[in-house]
Structure 1
Amino acid sequence: MFSDHYGEPDSPSRDTRLPSLLALRCFEAAARLENFTHAAAELHLTHGAISRAVRLLEEELGVALFERRSRRVFLTDAGRTLAQAVGDGLGVIRQAVGVLRASARKERRWVLSCEPTLLMRWLIPRWPAFQAQHPGIDVHLVAGGGPFSFNSGIDLAIRRDDFSWPEHYCAEPLFAEKTGPVCRPEKVDTWFNEHNELRKDAACLHTRTRPSAWADWAMTAKQPLPRGLTQTFEHFYFSLQAAVAGLGVAMAPWHLVRDDLDSGLLTAPLGFVEDGSRYCLLSPQPVQPGSPQADLLTWLRAQA
């Protein structure tokens, strides 16, 4: 035989029923900040939404949680009791969610963003070696240059330090940038003189993605700029491919043409000079020793 006392207003089941989780989150933020406007901003809600949630929570519990005085709010004794309990509970939830997310990150594929030309001409040709050495590390390579956010699905990034990134980004140096003019070996006598200098009428290949490359090199190497015909290409890899095709002399970073130099497709009669910039591996947190990220960092430095 079942008793019907569980349906009474003062029954145990009614007393232990939890309020809305959203209402509790609104209350916890308002209690912690003692300000409905600041709580609304933190939770991306309106001031009215926070106020309604707190009011409904007070009505459901039958107690006042805040004293409202001169457009300010102060916790009551009941409010402090609930704030402590809700804060502790949300803290436990956040800790558990953090553990689960960390575990998921270890198992999921990482996304490594790399500047397009460096990705195409340096990283991808060497990537099979990394996969062979570290078959358990799953990394998805994507092309991207300049500023970015780790909130956009990127886990790691390789960038040249020619722009400012947020101070909380962790940067591990990979290698210094070295640049120099390159051309087809059979074109050396056409565009370089017997003193191993660029002729004034040498055909120079430029790129819109690094328009000052020639001027920066000339200043660093203390060389005069040629005044011959020029061609400008939309991307760095187009100007490098134009050099391979024999269209002129391109200003090239060593890492982007090292394979072409080794194969004999290109030559660098004047060598390369460091331009003061460097490439870095960027991450949202410091790379921990012994972690897969540390293995990747060690490998990248070895390839440099």
Structure 2
Amino acid sequence: MTRLPSLQTLQAFEASARLHSFTRAAEELSLTQGAVSQHVRTLEGRLGTQLFHREHLGVVPTEEALHLALQVRQGLGVLERAFRVEPEVVALSSTVQLRLSTLPSVARRWLMPRLPDFRRRHPDIEVLVEGSTGLARLDHRDGVDVALRYGPGNWPGLCCVKLAEEAIFPVASPEYLCGRSLGDEDLDTCTLLRHPTQPWELWLQAAGLFGGEPTVGPLFDDYDAYLEAAVDGQGLALARRALVRQELEDGRLVRVSESETRDVHAYYLAWRPGVAKTASIEALCLWLRAAFTQPGQQNLPTEPSD
């Protein structure tokens, strides 16, 4: 029989992963911070891997730690239910509601079609999606628990887990191209559609074209309208694979160039450390990361903020 870690070690690890803090875990378990830290080091030594990244605001569990914490939490829940004596205590399996904020385009084109899979896997977690172009505060003022954000991933005071990177490339309608095969050097003869959060300069430099950011051409603040303009033959749009996947498959848009580049920003799941719903948020985080690894689903559209 495999010799298991001590119960106190598992409790210290689970609390640290949930609270993102050795100090808060120590307070919850009535231990010293040093004792919690030692329990975690013992577990890391046993597994031969690092479980937390130490940061100035606390600790951030690694992806392996998130997986392990979910399993440990389930095991501790079984023990808790076996020894529970207060019938009025709410069972651990009761439904948890997560209010998630993200961009309307992400919600509509990527997240909502995939949420049924999450519900099948986690029937005890209900995700309520709010589409918004503004940054959610992630506190009691807006009631949002977690945000699917695009950006640098260094928002102060938040736990941020990187979900996916994105590649960008130009697209146009077949009608706009009129059968032409454009080389990268021909783009200066085309109308470049513009979106404030989708600058052309990054892709132009990666393609070896050193012109600056275009200052003329139709400017759109709505990402859907931006892509629809490309479908209507108004010019070239700089697109992301997942956002235009359907349009590329049905032929309404085609790639203008094989050149593509990785964007400097990425998608992150962000939440306040120590919230009561951390376990459910971590389950959502793991599912999102897995969803991004499926063929054709790795990449997402981007707009500012959530």
Q: Does 1:280 align with 2:268?
A: yes
In structure 1, the residue corresponding to 2:201 is in which secondary structure? helix
Identity rate, percent: 29
In structure 2, how many angstroms separate the alpha carbons of the residues matched to 1:173 and 1:302? 12
Distance apart, 1:198 and its partner CA: 4.0
Map residues 70-219 of structure 1 onto 2, 5 A cutoff: 107-151=95-139, 152-162=142-152, 165-166=155-156, 168-189=157-178, 192-193=181-182, 195=183, 197-208=185-196, 210=197, 213-219=199-205
Deviations 1:12-46 (CA, angstroms, capped at 9, x unpaired): xxxxxxxxxxxxxxxxxxxxxxxxxxxxxxxxxxx
* Paired residues of 2:101 and 2:136 also in contact (CA < 8 A): no
In structure 2, how many angstroms separate the alpha carbons of the residues matched to 1:106 and 1:189? 58
Map residues 246-257 of structure 1 onto 2, 5 A cutoff: 246-257=233-244
In structure 2, how many angstroms separate the alpha carbons of the residues matched to 1:207 and 1:294? 33
In structure 2, how many angstroms separate the alpha carbons of the residues matched to 1:279 and 1:227? 26
Distance apart, 1:104 and its partner CA: 10
The one-letter amino acid of 1:113's match is: S
| Larger proportion of helix | 1
* Paired residues of 2:94 and 2:124 also in contact (CA < 8 A): no
Count of aligned residue pairs for this structure pair: 200
Alignment CA distance shift 1:216-1:286 (3 Å)? farther
Distance apart, 1:105 and its partner CA: 12
Distance apart, 1:200 and its partner CA: 1.9
Aligned counterpart for 1:230 among listed residues 206, 217, 223:
217
Deviations 1:37-70 (CA, angstroms, capped at 9, x unpaired): xxxxxxxxxxxxxxxxxxxxxxxxxxxxxxxxxx
Distance apart, 1:281 and its partner CA: 0.5
Alignment CA distance shift 1:129-1:275 (3 Å)? same
Alignment CA distance shift 1:155-1:198 (3 Å)? farther
In structure 1, how many angstroms separate the alpha carbons of the residues matched to 2:205 and 2:275? 36
* Paired residues of 1:158 and 1:279 also in contact (CA < 8 A): yes
The one-letter amino acid of 1:253's match is: R
In structure 1, how many angstroms separate the alpha carbons of the residues matched to 2:252 and 2:275? 38
Structure 2 runs not aligned, ≥5 long: 1-87, 293-306
Q: Which moved more, 1:118-127 or 1:128-137?
A: 128-137
RMSD: 3.5
User: Paired residue for 1:293?
Assistant: 281
The one-letter amino acid of 2:106's match is: L
* Paired residues of 1:206 and 1:250 also in contact (CA < 8 A): yes
Structure 1 runs not aligned, ≥5 long: 1-99
List 4+ stretches of structure 1 deviating above 6 A.
Answer: 102-106, 226-229
Of structures 1 and 2, the one with the larger relative CO (CA 8 A, separation 6+) is: 2
Give the TM-score taking structure 1 as reference length: 0.56
User: Paired residue for 1:34?
Assistant: none
Distance apart, 1:197 and its partner CA: 4.6
Alignment CA distance shift 1:183-1:105 (3 Å)? farther
The one-letter amino acid of 1:205's match is: L
In structure 2, how many angstroms separate the alpha carbons of the residues matched to 1:127 and 1:267? 28
In structure 2, how many angstroms separate the alpha carbons of the residues matched to 1:207 and 1:227? 11
Higher radius of gyration, 1 or 2: 1
The one-letter amino acid of 1:129's match is: D
